[in-house]
Structure 1
Amino acid sequence: MKKLIFLSLMAICFCVRLYAQTNFKYKNASLPVEVRVQDLLSRMTLEEKIAQMRHIHAYSIMENGKLNEEKLEKMIGGQNYGFIEGITLPGKECLTLMNEVQKYMREKTRLGIPVFTLTESLHGSVHDGSTIFPQAIALGSTFNPILAYEMTSAIAKELTAQGITQSLTPVIDVCRDLRWGRVEECFGEDPYLVSRMGVSQVRGYLDNQVSPMIKHFGAHGAPQGGLNLASVSCGQRELLSIYLKTFETVVKEAKPWAVMSSYNSWNNEPNSSSHYLMTELLRDRWDFQGYVYSDWGAIGMLNYFHKTAQNSAEAAIQALTAGLDAEASDNSYAELQQLVENGMLDVKYIDQAVARILTAKFNMGLFEYPLPMEKNYDKVVHAPAHVSLARKIAEESIVLLQNENNILPLQMNKLKSIAVIGPNADQVQFGDYTWSRDNKDGVTLLEALKERVGNQLTLNYAKGCDLVTDDRSGFKEAVDVAKKSDVCIVVVGSASASLARDYSNATCGEGFDLSDLTLTGVQEDLVEAIHATGKPVIVVLLSGKPLAMSWIKENIPGIVVQWYPGEQGGLALADMLLGKVNPSGKLNYSFPQSVGHLPCYYNYLPTDKGFYRSPGSKNKPGKDYVFSSPKALWAFGHGLSYTDFEYLSATTSKEDYACEDVIEVTIAIRNTGDYDGLEVPQVYVRDMVSSVVMPVQELKGFEKVLIKKGETKQVIIKIPVSELALYNKEMKKVVEPGAFELQIGRASDDIRIKKVITVERASEKYIPTLRDKEKKVSSTKNMTATPVVVKGTIRDVQANLLPQVTVKVGKEEVVTNSKGEYSIRAMSTDTLIVSGSKFKTEHISIEGRQVINIRMLNR
């Protein structure tokens, strides 16, 4: 009887404890996230908090392809680890493992905190069997953010079916050095294009219940010498306006919950220990609410690579106090408990980091997240709709660089045979961060042409050479094939690795950088040999980056670039060559003439392409570059179509704008050719006079539209005036008043219409964050009026000094002298009224300033 009573009491205690746990605030989905986070954090031990900041590798807890629960228990010691990855697992195996680990964390740990299950999915999940979409460089050349959204929406569905809740993408680095192997992972060289693609991709993930992680935070896309992990040398202004503009935009507009820090350094400080980057900018200025995650092993690199930390404990302190919340693939954060207990680290930094991780988990619904069921796997992963989307993206990404005498599309009624030649003619090239390099998982050009026209004419194939060696033994066969064919398609380019699987013969991708940008191996020699036969030649560059192809441009009539196009690339390319698809891709990178012409991005400063403007040639030396022009071989935005587009007119909603306005540009375009076509009107802006040197042009708007043959379409492109901001001499982000030239056209070097608009004086104010607004209001409201003498110069928009301009404050009135100078007594809270016979009257708040230089606008 006593035993029965004892057991009953134990059962009652257990039930009471279980009821109490289920009624913890953090388990109540109806409460605000902040309340749930603080409740859970208050219940966690120091060990449990640190575990949330750490990462499990699947291989360390598996045996014979399955979860070994004893290994898991031994590794985590009963704590809820924050993250787990299984990047090399097959898809269904990944699902099984993630479900088992998720279930263990929820049911067999004290607090039941779910884990972020994560993987890579740059252009498709990296687990075997997933849809392989075109690489990021290809998506960028579509100039179609809608496709970017659709792509990550599809990827998110496949990730969910595989048990994944956190993706380690997208890459929103702005790439400015083409030698770097990771060019292919980036959307392009322009921060506006990259921002629009990044916002769309992040929203695609979030709308489908997968958390994206934007990367790689810090200046990353122009490493010294083009070498991966090398430092980036640029000033603060370029850092903010080029390399970090994408992160600022995506954080503010799309609101991701995760950011990955980069391996490298800026301004001699590793990005993974930069308080300026991860706290002052990311959180204090941009109001990022999520967590920062290290790149693989990046914290340990502070010790053995950057040499800024004496040991792993010091590396952990540097990273955590700078704002890096979670560690991947390293053990530096294993030191945190002892550092706290020894009084070397304030526990507040751990609480702060864990709160951010938990905030992301609650906001992504992980505590209520139902485990995916295996029965749904085959319905979602590699679904027909996803394969069709992959082909559509591949089609829209193809860029027609050159089409002399309309050699394309191929006139099938005039051809009896086609030679298909080159190392990439019968080899899929998916790009880095994929699960395969095998032809069986995609479609090559040769296979696609056999399917499309193999029964109508003869296809003659020869590889000719490989991608990397100087072996010319295949040239004879290739030349013989060319001679007996009516037209020759030569497919050259590069190859990338497949993640953690096969790195052989890679000439592109992470860790595979180039010191020379000519075609590798003897590929250009192969093109020359085929050209020497006298047969018409079309060159296809199937690659992960632009390469220097000056000879090819000068000698080959038809040139096409197909960035790594995913599993449907061969079919998309075949249909484009045959005229079933009208090319609509635009260059997201400028092509260099040679490696010596780097950098070759389009948005250069007005001083940066030479002063003398008298380029030479081999036969006639000149100035600037003695033997060549500094211009790009093909410029950003370039891309031909099988049809012709006429730009009829461009109008703006008005001519004078205030800081808070939106510029509406209406462009009339007529399709005057014989094909329906997709066109991308592009609007570039040039700040005509500015306090700091600004680029000759910057992309600020574009739209991809279908215009049928014979149709005229009105395209409206909206540009917030805030997009015209610069970082002035005081490093404040402002829109300066004055004139701005809108350049409307088909490419950065094909401007069809120019129009000037003006921005008024109100634009001197910050483009503010919420905190800046609060500070601004507070400082103005509390300002005490004191006497001041205000001095300055007055100029017009061309910076000419203006005499005889009247400056008034109350009863005081002065006129500028012959040097455009003025001096007037006023109160610190007064407003200057500035007027001239040919200029608009300006009202300028003094706000305590003693020097105010003024720019007048014409009436």
Structure 2
Amino acid sequence: MISPSTPPSTPSGTPVWNDPSRPVGERVDALLQELTLEEKAGQLGSYWLRPDPEEATGGAAPMESAFANDRSTFEAAIAHGLGHITRAFGSAPISAADGVEHLRTLQRQVVGTSRLGIPAIAHEECLTGFTTLGATCYPAAIAWGAAFDPELVRTMARRIGDDMKGVGVHLGLSPVLDVVRDYRWGRVEETVGEDPYLVGCLTTEYVRGLQEAGVIATLKHFAGYSTSRAGRNHAPVSIGPRELRDVVLVPFEMAVRIGRVGAVMNSYADVDGVPPAADPELLTTLLRDEWGFEGTVVSDYWAVSFLESMHHVATDPRDAGVQSLAAGMDVELPETSCFADLAAAVREGALEEALLDRAVRRVLTQKIQLGLLDEGFDPGTAGGAVDLDSEGNRRLARRMAEESVVLLKNDGVLPLTGDTARRVAVIGPSAAQPRSFLGCYSFTNHVLSRFGESGTGIEITSIVDALTEEFAGGDTTFRHALGVDFTDPDTSGIAEAVAAAEEADLAVVTVGDLAGLFGTGTSGEGCDVVDLSLPGRQAELVEAVLATGTPVVLVLVTGRPYSLGAFDDRCAAVVQAFMPGEEGGHAVAGVLSGRVNPSGRLPVGIPRHVGGQPGTYLTPTLGGYAEGVSNLDPRPLYPFGHGIGYSTFSYDALELSATQIGADGTVDAAVTVTNTSERAGQEVVQLYLSDPVAQVVRPVKMLVGFAKIALEPGQSARVVFHLHADRTAFTGRAMRRIVEPGEFVLRAGPSSEDLPLEDRFVVTGPVRDVEDVERVLTTPVDVEVADRALAADAS
């Protein structure tokens, strides 16, 4: 190590690291040479100025209270510099203007204390929008999946990034790339769905949008988190290495290689006995050596400490810190704990200084790339003038909500009209509680609710009020009855709901989730469930209203799919809205009225039973139904990809450009789709691949391409998928990813179980090993509508 001396400077006297005209690498090297061991370690730590426990109830992170008494003061934490400032905006109710000044104050202290004046990176949560008071709350990630529109997700992320950048935030802890494997897991709402390709396409576009705004995106949770035993949060993960490679890791590889993401966050859960926070094979060999990741790895909150306290693979905090850093961790969040002793560990020979330098170089690179070391750096430029819930944001939030609502069933009762239903009973808890539209990582449910606030912090119109607005000036009237609450066992309100239904021409029954954290909600982090029954006494409410004989439109506002097999066949229509955000009330009302032609498709299946099923469509033959093998039928009530609208479409002529291709060739699959109705609408064209015979067991089918297209009445489109042979690749018996010669089946249609078109092609030649190459990860799509051609906003 080189001891500090006179800092190298330019002819003007400016230190090299402060000169934006110099190459980033040169600036980083010059600054790194000047840092002491303690200053190096300081760049890898963080601090969370959390609210007093008496001000807030519950925690925003797992086991937060367990770490409340042992943390140091902010002054002590920044004595040798600081890597990250944790959630200056998102920890308590604070206005945008006050948040900017709060962050400026913290940065002034960091810079003033740092011998070389190095600011900290400010990070925040941003999955459903910037998680701060008054910011737009977009639909939950599971609703992005339902929209099947990557470009729309990218636009949303760019707006989120613009808002965060304007107030001085540099890094967002989003998106979530976990693939749903068990619907009982509380964090299903934070995922994009159960298919790795859908997850990868949409989250990669989120990464692009956020980083186009100048805010670093962070992939969560690397890796295996959603495959925990029994769907329990933080439970062990027992999947095999093949499922890890071919399902769990696929979206991460896409976001790293295609999205060029700047940060990755580890998963809490241990995978086959190895915690990711201390796994060099995952954090270094795979992520960096194989995929070429160049950003920083940041720990999930207290994950490094958990190596000692929860996983028991470290003897003490220092050992945990050394193991994690050596594995490839760069920054400890949300506070410096185990990394506090890194300098001493180097001096005592327990840690190589080169490993410390490796992480520091990555952090300094990002700080310089973000402009933090440039002269005149200001942590906030917009101040109180920024509008975090602008009209443009709200328009986009409404469009996303409208495109994500899924119409599962309709016997003709929808859309509602004054001729068919003048008296409508609107029944159920989610009709009047707009918090049900928001995910657990919304500011409303994540922070505001812990401060005893009953409001939402932003303007949100309930479903019943939105319906009243939607039909204003007409003859239709609406009467609301709560019936039951989300989890309250009191059923005394069911009688009023039944009376309202009996007097109505139609009943709109709204049931679902109210998100929270660690058991405070029916959905969200730490809110896992034993089965897929509707929460609380809501199923009893549905049964009571159905018993009246009044036609029922069942509306689900949920973060996960729930079993509907007990009453689906008695409902006139079923609408699924996956936590549609602040404009969700208007979106649901628009679908019911017909103003919105629903185009959402299921990113997860809807189960028939409350249990006894594998959960997702991505399963081999033995995971499906086989008569005489088991008395349990795992087939879903509504499959992945399903959804209908007020338009109808026909599928014709799946045409392949070739019947044979080489192991590195491409086959084009063209599908003709026609709007056969009298109303313009959108269709999600889906392409699935099957591998009938392979050296390992393969899924019955897997999504390999999709495109959301808009067609006028009578209009046709030719949708051409360019499928490279790499898209057939899988991890073989030798644990190498290969393209194996043989026959493959392509099917196209509107859902994973409705695939009217089929054709086959053969991959010829020897087995192709693609383990060490940057293989093709996407299926590009071209859409030719009428006489004009355009590139689809899909993959």
- Return the TM-score normalized by structure 2: 0.89
Q: What is the Cα deviation at residue 107 of structure 1?
A: 5.6
Structure 1 residue aligned with 2:779: none
Amino acid in structure 1 at the alignment position of 2:397: A
**The residue matched to 2:611 in structure 1 has which SS?**
helix
1:762-790 deviation digits (Å, cap 9, x = unpaired): 6523253369xxxxxxxxxxxxxxxxxxx
Partner of residue 417 from structure 1, selected from 409, 420, 423: 423
Kindly tell me the number of residue pairs found equivalent between the two proteins.
739
CA contact (8 A) 2:51 2:91 kept: no
Change in CA separation of 1:21 and 1:721 when aligned onto 2, cut-off 3 Å: farther
Give secondary structure in 1 for the equivalent of 2:510. strand
Look up the match of 1:399.
Answer: 406
Q: 1:357 aligned to 2:363?
A: yes
Match of 1:856 in 2: none
Change (3 A) 1:186 1:755: same
1:650 positional shift: 1.7
SS of 1:704's partner is: strand
1:373 Cα deviation after fit: 5.1
Residue 659 of structure 1 and its aligned partner are, at CA, apart by: 3.6
Supply the distance in 1 between the matched residues of 2:51 and 2:415 (Cα, whole angstroms): 54
Distance in 2 of aligned mates of 1:43 and 1:505: 48
Say whether residues 1:600 and 2:600 are aligned partners: no
Q: Which residue of structure 2 aligns with residue 747 of structure 1?
A: 751
2:147 aligned partner: 142
User: Structure 1 residues 257, 570: closer, same or farther in 2, change over 3 A?
Assistant: same
Distance, in Å, in 2 between the alignment partners of 1:641 and 1:71 is 57
Give me the whole-angstrom Cα distance separating, in 2, the residues matched to 1:661 and 1:373.
50
SS at match of 1:468: coil
> Is 2:40 the counterpart of 1:49?
yes
Q: CA deviation at 1:85?
A: 2.6
What's the Cα RMSD here? 2.5
Corresponding residue number in structure 2 for 1:465: 484
Aligned to 1:168: 173
- 2:579 matched residue in structure 1: 564
Structure-2 residue corresponding to 1:688: 692
Between the aligned partners of 1:494 and 1:573, the Cα distance in structure 2 is 15
C-alpha deviation, 1:468, in angstroms: 1.2
2:186 counterpart of 1:181: yes
1:454, 1:483 → 2: CA distance? 23
How far residue 96 of structure 1 moved from its aligned partner, in angstroms, is: 1.5
Aligned residues of 2:621 and 2:700 also touching (Cα < 8 A): yes
Q: Does residue 486 of the first structure (1) align with residue 505 of the second (2)?
A: yes
The offset of 1:106, in angstroms, is 4.4
Q: Indicate the SS of the match to 2:749.
A: strand
CA distance in 2, matches of 1:279, 1:397: 37
2:30 pairs with one of 28, 32, 39: 39
Give the match's secondary structure for 2:128.
Answer: coil
Give 1:74 shift: 4.0
1:100 aligns with 2:105: yes
Q: What amino acid does structure 2 have at the position aligned with 1:451?
A: E
Which of 199, 202, 210 is residue 204 of structure 2 equivalent to?
199
Native 8 Å contact 1:340 1:346 kept in 2: yes
Q: Report Cα offsets for 1:550-602 as digits up to 9, x if no partner.
A: 11222212111101011000001001000000111111011222343232211
Query: Would the alpha carbon gap of residues 569 and 60 (structure 1) be closer, same or farther in structure 2, given more than 3 Å must change?
Result: closer
Q: Answer yes or no: is the 8 Å Cα contact 1:52–1:83 preserved in 2.
A: no
- 1:36 offset after TM fit, Å? 2.2
* Contact 1:160/1:372 (8 A) holds in 2: no
User: Matched residues in 2 for 1:33 and 1:372: separation?
Assistant: 20
- Secondary structure of 1:221's match? helix
Q: 2:81–2:118: 8 Å Cα contact kept in structure 1?
A: no
The CA deviation at 1:110 is 2.3
1:197-596 to 2 correspondences below 5 Å: 197-330=202-335, 331-368=337-374, 370-371=377-378, 375=382, 377-404=384-411, 406-428=412-434, 429=436, 430-437=438-445, 438=455, 441-456=459-474, 457-497=476-516, 505-596=520-611
Cα distance, 1:633 vs. partner?
1.5
Taking a change above 3 Å as real, the CA distance of residues 15 and 306 of structure 1, as seen in their structure-2 partners, is closer
Residue 738 (structure 1) aligned to one of 716, 739, 742: 742
Residue 700 of structure 1, CA deviation:
0.5
Residue type matched to 1:460 in 2?
A: R
* DSSP-derived class of the 2:203 partner: helix
1:760, distance to aligned residue in structure 2 (A):
2.3
Counterpart Cα distance in 2 of 1:352 and 1:718 = 40
Aligned amino acid, residue 556 of structure 1: C
1:716 & 1:267 partners in 2: Cα distance?
Answer: 41
Residue 374 of structure 1 and its aligned partner are, at CA, apart by: 5.9
1:526–1:264 distance in 2 versus 1, CA, 3 Å: same
Q: Distance in 2 between matches of 1:541 and 1:105?
A: 48
Question: What letter matches 1:492 in structure 2?
Answer: V
Q: Deviations over 1:780-836 (max 9, x none)?
A: xxxxxxxxxxxxxxxxxxxxxxxxxxxxxxxxxxxxxxxxxxxxxxxxxxxxxxxxx
Q: Partners in 2 of 1:576 and 1:235 — Cα distance?
A: 43
User: Are the structure 2 counterparts of residues 377 and 203 from structure 1 closer, same or farther at C-alpha, using a change threshold of 3 Å?
Assistant: farther
Which one has more relative contact order, counting CA pairs under 8 Å at least 6 apart? 2
Q: Which amino acid aligns with 1:475?
A: I
Within the candidate set 81, 85, 88, 2:87 is matched to: 85
Contact 1:591–1:600 (CA under 8 A) maintained in structure 2? no
The one-letter code of the counterpart of 2:430 is: N
User: Aligned to 2:634, which of 612, 630, 653?
Assistant: 630
2:643 matched to which residue of 1?
639
Offset from partner CA, 1:199-231 (integer Å, 9 cap, x none): 100000111100011110011112111110111
Preserved contact between residue 316 and residue 336 of structure 1 (Cα < 8 Å): yes
Listed as ranges, the gaps of 5+ residues in structure 1 are 1-13, 65-69, 615-622, 772-859
2:692, 2:252 → 1: CA distance? 27
What amino acid sits opposite 1:358 in the alignment?
Answer: L
| Distance in structure 2 (CA, Å) of the matches to 1:165 and 1:125 | 12
Preserved CA contact (<8 Å) 2:8 2:30: no
Please tell me the residue identity of whatever aligns with 1:152.
Answer: A
Measure, in 2, the Cα distance between the counterparts of 1:717 and 1:158: 36
User: What code does the residue aligned with 1:712 have?
Assistant: S
State the distance in 1 between where 2:530 and 2:253 align.
Answer: 32
Distance 1:188 1:35, change over 3 A: same
Deviates more, 1:77-86 or 1:413-422: 77-86
Answer whether contact 1:735 1:767 (CA < 8 A) is retained.
no
Gap change, CA 1:452 and 1:16, over 3 Å in 2: closer
Which has the larger displacement, 645-654 or 539-548? Answer: 645-654
Per-residue deviation, 1:162: 2.4
Aligned mates of 2:743, 2:113 — CA distance in 1: 65
With normalisation by structure 1, the TM-score equals 0.82
Do the aligned partners of 1:54 and 1:83 also contact (CA within 8 Å) in 2? no
Question: 1:366, CA displacement in angstroms?
Answer: 3.2
Q: Which runs of 5 or more residues in structure 2 are unaligned?
A: 56-71, 446-454, 776-795
Q: Is the 8 A contact 1:161 1:381 kept in 2?
A: no
Bigger shift: 176-185 or 375-384? 375-384
- How far apart, CA to CA, are the structure 1 residues paired with 2:709 and 2:508? 30
Closer/same/farther in 2, CA of residues 299 and 449 from structure 1, 3 Å limit:
same
CA distance in 2, matches of 1:45, 1:698: 52
State the 1:57 CA deviation.
1.1
Partners of 1:286 and 1:769 within 8 A in 2: no
Could you tell me the percent identity over the aligned residues?
A: 34
Once the two structures are overlaid, the 10-residue window that deviates more, 118-127 or 730-739, is 730-739
CA shift at 1:72, angstroms? 4.5
What secondary structure sits across from 1:213 in the alignment? strand
- Confirm or deny: 8 A CA contact 1:84 1:115 kept in the other structure: no
